[in-house]
Structure 1
């Protein structure tokens, strides 16, 4: 497993997701970023949820948000990546999940049928940093938002780090599509 974000195959987009969970308020914020094989941002978003039982439910909701957002943007071939190994393994298994988050896992599997190709992969925190940053930002923003072909301003530096951009002062290279 790499600690650096890796691009998907050129025929697909990579959808990274993460969740930030506030235990005492029982709220979570899910962050999603969709990038193509060049690392260009196709879209990003944050959704706030209330009455969330625990961090596992928060991660499951973030995964569901990720594939819903990818579907709504019209992508048919996706690689979904998150740093919750538990969620990724549960979604990959083809068995009935009777855990507390089983209903979310079932919904994710049903939503996955909307794609021509979909795979779920575990990512470590470092390679999932953009989604993590967006998720944490959700509590500061205070509402759900999405961005098409861009990311929130606070995440531009993280995208640059992921892409290892070495910009010259006189060159303007876009980090977004």
Structure 2
């Protein structure tokens, strides 16, 4: 939930300024392509993927600014077996930790796991198998000045998705600061170019 009403309103107006004829999912606030966050905010996209053959989960975390410029990324490999929703909840938790570690205070978190985003945005306690991760996310979010969790379509989260897949191949966790990971370079450049038109 937005704690900065002006930032939330700006984002809502930008997303809903779509031309007629676009899909109802997009008209309801789910952009098909990556969009920058409101001014003075950082957007952290997060995703998880499961490599069942190697019993691991890959997490992709990617931070960009209001101009769409790459800031930082992290690929994390967890040697655990998890169902998709648990994996996504773990990714959401690591996204908030990532933002806090980088010193961000005004952050929009985007992921394509609707169940997890809804659980985080709910005022109720999450009693599911991934509930303790959700409750940790809420606790960490309370330390941020402004934060929100938003659900987006996979197309708007493709860089984080590819980063998560790549993380499964890593021997150790990887971190990039102002240096775009090669596995998502083409995606980032394409998304940056689309913001110019």
In the alignment, structure 1 residue 88 sits paired with structure 2 residue 89: no
How far residue 23 of structure 1 moved from its aligned partner, in angstroms, is 3.0
1:43-82 to 2 correspondence within 5 Å?
43-82=72-111
Does residue 128 (structure 1) correspond to residue 128 (structure 2)? The answer is: no
Note if contact 1:63-1:108 (Cα within 8 Å) is conserved in structure 2.
Answer: yes
Output the CA distance in 2 between the equivalents of 1:82 and 1:159: 16
- In structure 2, the gaps of 5 or more residues are 1-29
Instruction: Report the counterpart of residue 20 of structure 1 in structure 2.
Output: 49
**Which residue pairs with 2:185 in the alignment?**
156
Separation of aligned partners in 1, 2:112 and 2:86: 14
Partner of 2:61: 32
2: distance between equivalents of 1:4 and 1:40? 15
SS in 2 for 1:90: helix
1:26–1:54 Cα contact (<8 Å) kept: no
1:2: which partner in 2?
31
Could you say which residue in structure 2 is the equivalent of 1:99?
A: 128
> Bigger CA drift: 150-159 or 77-86?
150-159
Inter-partner Cα distance in structure 1 for 2:81 and 2:125: 22
| Residue 164 of structure 1, CA deviation | 1.9
Query: Aligned residues, how many?
Result: 167
Separation in structure 2 between the aligned mates of residue 162 and residue 62 of structure 1, nearest angstrom: 22
Query: TM-score, length-normalised on structure 1?
Result: 0.89
C-alpha contact (below 8 Å) 1:23/1:54 kept by paired residues: no
User: C-alpha deviations, 1:73-119, integer Å up to 9, x for none?
Assistant: 00000000000001100000011111000110111111111100000
Structure 1 residue aligned with 2:169: 140
Partners of 2:38 and 2:146 in 1: CA distance = 12
Change (3 A) 1:154 1:51: closer
Answer whether contact 2:77 2:170 (CA < 8 A) is retained: no
Q: TM-score normalised to the size of structure 2?
A: 0.81
Q: Write the distance in 1 (CA, Å) between the matches of 2:113 and 2:171.
A: 24
Superposition deviation, residue 67 in structure 1: 0.9
Over residues 134-174 of structure 1, what are the superposed CA-to-partner deviations in whole Å (9 max), with x where a residue is unaligned? 000011223211111222112110001111269xxxxxxxx
Q: RMSD over aligned Cα, in angstroms?
A: 1.6
Cα distance between partner residues in 2 of 1:78 and 1:70:
7
